[in-house]
Structure 1
Amino acid sequence: MVGVTALLALGMLGLVPVAQADNASDKAAALQQQAALEQQANEVQSSLEFVDAGIAKSAADLVTFQGQLPGAQTALSQAEGRVSVATGEVNSLTARIDLAQQSKDKITAQIATDATKTTETKAMIGQIAAQSYKAGGLPVNLTLILGADSPNDLANSIDLAEQAMRSQTAALEALTAQKATNENAQVRLAAVEAEIKDLKLQAEVALAAEQSARDAAATQKAKVDKLISDSAVLNAQLEAEKPRIQTKLKEVQGEKDAVAFQISEIQRKEREAAEAAARAEAARLAKIEEDRRVEAARVAYDQEQQRLAREKAAADAQANLGGGASTPYEPEPFVPPVYVPPAYVPPAPGNPSAFGLQHPFAGNIPITSGFGWRQTPAGTIDFNGTGSYLHSGIDFGATCGTPVYAPADGVVQIAGQTNVVYGGGNVLYISHGVVQGNALMTVFYHNSSVIVSAGQSVTQGQLVAYSGNTGNSTGCHAHFETWLNGSPVDPMGLL
């Protein structure tokens, strides 16, 4: 069964963007969004797989591209933002390095100046010491021994010595202060040099981050450009294919209706035959019951006649004793009751679970597209004008060559390649008969091979086919349908 009224997704609106994730919760949300987008693409593809495999693939790709575009554009914007931040960081570090270098140059110049001052101060101290010695800067008793000419010479000598000592002391104090200043400058210089080294390392890291951000932005920009370009190409291709697809969709819809009628007729006849058999069985049982009732009535009648005969004989015997005459007993003939067959009332259909349908695959095969009516999204082309389409089965993501097993006992109706359904490839229809008033048929499409034949009886769990990619299929998968009383129903409600 095609299971589509068909939809071609062009210019999808409201698609789920795939966002970039920086933390665990964002990544989980991104994975959910990606899964939703993939599901959306699978549903669009499954809606067109019986029309044209290439068109179905293009439509699904368009949905994917357009769904990814908002996320890619957001990622590009974020990447460009990171480039801006990294560039600002590099510029800030460069400015800080310049300031630190200026401070280093200033301190270095100051240290050189202070070194000159220190040398000059040391020279001055040497000169003061020499002058002090010449001026008598020695102890008074030693001066006298050496021979001062007069008291005035001695006073002058002492005065000059005191002045020299004060100058020398002041020079020594200045030298000590200069030394402390020089040591402090050296510490500051070492700190500035360490800062410059650290800033240069930070600048290298920032430059690498900036280049990485620029590369990421360039990659993201290329991705955005490609998504836009690919979407435009696919959109143009699908727009050009509209007239042909519209014509094909009418054909597919006709085939869908024909197959639905065929299945409906098969199941109608099965249910009628089952009801006729049930009616005949009910009539047979009713006749048996009626015959039993008539026989019981006959036995009761005979017993009653025997009783009446005995009573008549006793009455006659009494009459003979009195000299009267006796008359023979004449029983009434037995008239059986008229048989009226009861009206047959078919029972209400039971629960379809009575078929005991089992999964057609041994493993846990994921569902890529579920069963049900889907509303046509805004911005799409609804080729049938209904506003919605029915995916009348389930697509399982089975790899090619996956064994397919009969879900229940039944009889094969159609097997192998057929023109009953365009694009179905190797098909398999199994009728599971009527159980509790319900008729059930299971249908498989796109099989790589079918190993049973039409008219063959199969048992539950029997290998009947291998999944594949035949017909208008865009990849290995299994399209599985369940038809109950002439209408498709969700297989998951029966499995």
Structure 2
Amino acid sequence: MSTNLAPARRTSRRFRGAVAAALVALSLTAVGTVAQADERDDLVREQEQNKAEREKLQSTLEGVDTELAETYLALEDAKTQLPIAQEALAAAEEALAAAERKQEQVAGRLDLAEAEAASLETAIAEGEQEIDTTRSAMGELARSTYRGDNAVNTLTVVLDASSTDDFLKSYAVMESAVRSQTQVLEDLQTAAAVTRNQRERQVAVTERIGELKVEADNAVVAADEARAAAAEHKTEIEQIQADMTVLADKLEEQKVQYSGQLAELEADNAELAREIAAIDEANRKAEEERRRKAAEAERQRLERERAAASRGDARPAPPAPAPPSSNGLLRRPVPTLYVTSSYGYRVYPITGGWFMHNGVDLRSACGNPQHASAGGTVISTKPPWATGTSGNQVMINHGVLGGSSYITVYNHLTRFAVSPGQHVSQGQVIGYTGATGNVTGCHVHFEVWKNGSTIDPMGMPGF
């Protein structure tokens, strides 16, 4: 790989960092600001689905140069993350609008409360002035009555009346004065009660103003945070779009090398097929020799039986054992089967061309053990420089099972646990999951060859 492709790797790494930051910001927005729990669950499911899609995409790029594959995956990541970032931006803008509405509502209620407080302050001052004036008048009247000034009482009215009419007039004046004094006293009591209620209301309004000021401050903070989140998501979108442009340009530059890499992959598969054909031929000859020997042994047994029968003193020999059946003899290379890329023809996403995927890709963490699918002899343990795109590879010859020659192949191992020529039993650890060769992540690549051709392992008994 030429050094002029190094920026693509830096770009992809930088992009992945940006994507990670976007996801963190998105989760914070979903949990802490506006998104409801169900919306957050939807986003989590979407991210998990995107992860599974990416895992499948990684498998489809098996055999492609790692840097080219990373560039393509980074571009696909960008395409995937763009709508997520846009959803986050929409949520942040909605949060900002809600926060600004809240801020306006609180400000309006605060203005009304402060206006009511000012009105109450004026009303209380006027009421207190009225009470003071009334109290002064009542005090003066009380003092005048105590001194006898203009004092009017029933006895005086009776004694001083010169006639009945004069008495009635004087008595009416006296009653009017008493009613006036009573009304003034009632007005004073009413004014005092009103002022007392106004003071209580003033205390409540003052407390409410304090609460509204805190609420208003919180609304301002929320609006500022929502505004900052919206700005951050806009920046993220701009960065993602910029990365997409850079990655798309880089991918176009690297496509020139792609056809050569596919040719290399095809050559590797052809070489593997030739090796397996030679092994199958050896297995066929070994099976023919086994059958010849079995037939010869059976012939000799029958001759012994006939000779013994002619003498009348022999028991029939047991029949020759039947050859083993292949049904259910192959087992899984790993305990759990989660297919990330199926067996069969696949479309390479970079060019849209078709290519045969000779095995099945299974999910497995780096370093997990892989097991021999059946007993047999290790044909080879090849390092990456010898396999080209397949990385560390183990090939096991299981011989003839049920009349067919079986060979299994395990690619991309991080290291070997067996050596060439070694006999292995079914389930024995033969190596450990890795990402050697032209792949972008750890996984199991498992092939089953039957009579010189690959078959789908998932269609076999036990899978």
Q: TM-score, normalised by structure 1?
A: 0.72
Structure 2 CA distance for partners of 1:272 and 1:220, relative to 1, 3 Å: farther
Give the Cα–Cα distance (whole angstroms) in 2 for the partners of residues 111 and 489 of structure 1.
Answer: 96
- Distance in 1, matches of 2:128 and 2:199, equals 12
Q: CA deviation at 1:106?
A: 1.0
Cα 1:480–1:375, aligned 2, differ >3 Å: closer, same or farther?
A: closer
* Residue range with higher mean Cα deviation, 155-164 or 462-471: 155-164
Of 341, 357, 360 in structure 2, the residue corresponding to residue 390 of structure 1 is 357
CA contact (8 A) 2:359 2:445 kept: no
2:399 corresponds to which letter in structure 1?
G
Return 477-486 or 281-290, whichever deviates more.
281-290
CA distance in 1, matches of 2:364, 2:72: 19
CA displacement at 1:198 relative to structure 2: 2.8
- What is the DSSP-based 3-state SS (H/G/I as helix, E as strand, rest coil) of the residue aligned with 2:365? coil
Tell me the distance in 2 between the aligned counterparts of 1:32 and 1:257. 41
Residues 1:135 and 2:162 are matched in the alignment: no
- Which residue of the partner structure matches residue 110 of structure 2? 97
Tell me the distance in 1 between the aligned counterparts of 2:429 and 2:382: 15
How far off its partner does 1:112 sit? 0.7
1:416 paired with 2:386, answer no
CA distance in 2, matches of 1:202, 1:47: 55
Structure 2 equivalent of residue 353 of structure 1? 328
Within the candidate set 241, 249, 252, 2:262 is matched to 249
Q: Provide the residue aligned with 1:191 in structure 2.
A: 204
Q: Which residue of 2 aligns with 1:486?
A: 452
User: Partner of 1:207 in structure 2?
Assistant: 220
Q: Is the 8 A contact 1:41 1:61 kept in 2?
A: no
Shift, 1:26, TM fit? 5.0
| d(CA) in 2 for partners of 1:131, 1:50 | 118
Say whether the 8 Å CA contact 2:371–2:426 is kept in structure 1.
yes
Worse overlay, 69-78 or 184-193: 184-193
CA shift digits 1:373-414 (9 cap, x unpaired): 46649xx4435x33x6536232443324x4444332211112
Query: Are the equivalent residues in 2 in contact too, given 1:46–1:56 (CA < 8 A)?
Result: no
Structure 2 counterpart of 1:353, one-letter code: G
1: distance between equivalents of 2:296 and 2:93? Answer: 85
Once residues 347 and 370 of structure 2 are traced to their aligned partners in structure 1, the CA distance between those partners, rounded to angstroms, is 32
Query: How far off its partner does 1:44 sit?
Result: 2.0
Residues 85/373 of structure 1: CA separation in 2 closer, same or farther (3 Å cut): farther
CA spacing shift, 1:391–1:69, aligned 2, 3 Å: farther
Q: Residues 414 and 453 of structure 1 are in contact (CA less than 8 Å); yes or no, is this contact kept in structure 2?
A: yes
Contact 2:364 2:433 in 1 (8 A): no
Contact 2:408 2:449 in 1 (8 A): yes
**SS state of the match for residue 351, structure 2?**
coil
Separation (CA, whole Å) in 2 of partners of 1:85 and 1:467: 51
User: Structure 1 pair 169/32, CA: closer, same or farther in 2 (3 Å)?
Assistant: closer
1:176 to 184, 189, 202: 189
How far, CA to CA, are the matches of 1:446 and 1:183 in structure 2? 88
Percent identity of the aligned residues? Answer: 30
Structure having greater relative contact order (Cα 8 Å, sep ≥ 6):
1
Q: 1:436 aligns with which of 402, 412, 417?
A: 402
Question: Which residues of 2 match residues 323-334 of structure 1 at below 5 A?
Answer: none
SS at match of 2:237: helix
406 and 82 in structure 1: CA distance in 2 versus 1, 3 angstrom threshold: same
- Counterpart residue number, 1:313: none
Question: Which is richer in helix?
Answer: 2
What secondary structure is seen at the aligned counterpart in 2 of 1:134? coil
CA RMSD of aligned residues (A): 3.7
Aligned residues: 417
Match of 1:344 in 2: none
Pairing 1:58-457 to 2, within 5 Å after superposition:
58-132=71-145, 133-138=148-153, 140=155, 162-275=175-288, 277-278=290-291, 281-282=294-295, 285=298, 289=302, 351-355=326-330, 357=331, 359-360=332-333, 367=338, 369-373=340-344, 376=347, 380-382=349-351, 385-386=353-354, 390=357, 392-400=359-367, 402-417=368-383, 419-457=385-423
Please state whether the residue corresponding to 1:353 is helix, strand or coil: coil
Q: Which amino acid aligns with 1:137?
A: V
Structure 2 gap segments, 5+ residues each: 1-22, 312-321
Structure 2 SS opposite 1:460: coil
Q: Distance in 1 between matches of 2:235 and 2:342?
A: 38
Greater C-alpha radius of gyration = 1
* CA contact 1:136–1:157 (8 Å) conserved in 2: no
The aligned amino acid for 1:203 is A
Distance 2:281 2:56 in 1: 31
- Counting only pairs closer than 5 Å after superposition, residues 32-47 of structure 1 correspond to structure 2 as 32-47=45-60
More moved, 250-259 vs 432-441? 250-259
After TM superposition, give the deviation of residue 259 of structure 1 in Å: 1.7
What is the letter of the counterpart of residue 435 of structure 1?
A: L
Question: Does structure 1 retain, via aligned residues, the 8 Å contact 2:384–2:436?
Answer: no
Q: Tell me, yes or no, if the aligned pair for 1:59 and 1:238 is still in contact at 8 Å.
A: yes
- Match of 1:434, SS state, is strand
Supply the AA of the counterpart residue of 1:243.
V
Deviation at 1:201, TM superposition (A): 2.9
Q: Deviations over 1:312-349 (max 9, x none)?
A: xxxxxxxxxxxxxxxxxxxxxxxxxxxxxxxxxxx999
Code of the residue aligned with 1:256 in structure 2: it is N
The question of whether the paired residues in 1 share the 8 Å contact of 2:366 and 2:443 is answered with yes
Corresponding residue for residue 8 of structure 2: none
Question: Partner of 2:329: helix, strand, or coil?
Answer: helix
Q: Which runs of 5+ in 1 are unaligned?
A: 1-17, 300-346
Contact preservation (8 Å) 2:66, 2:440: yes
Residues 24 and 173 of structure 1, relative CA distance in 2, 3 Å threshold: closer
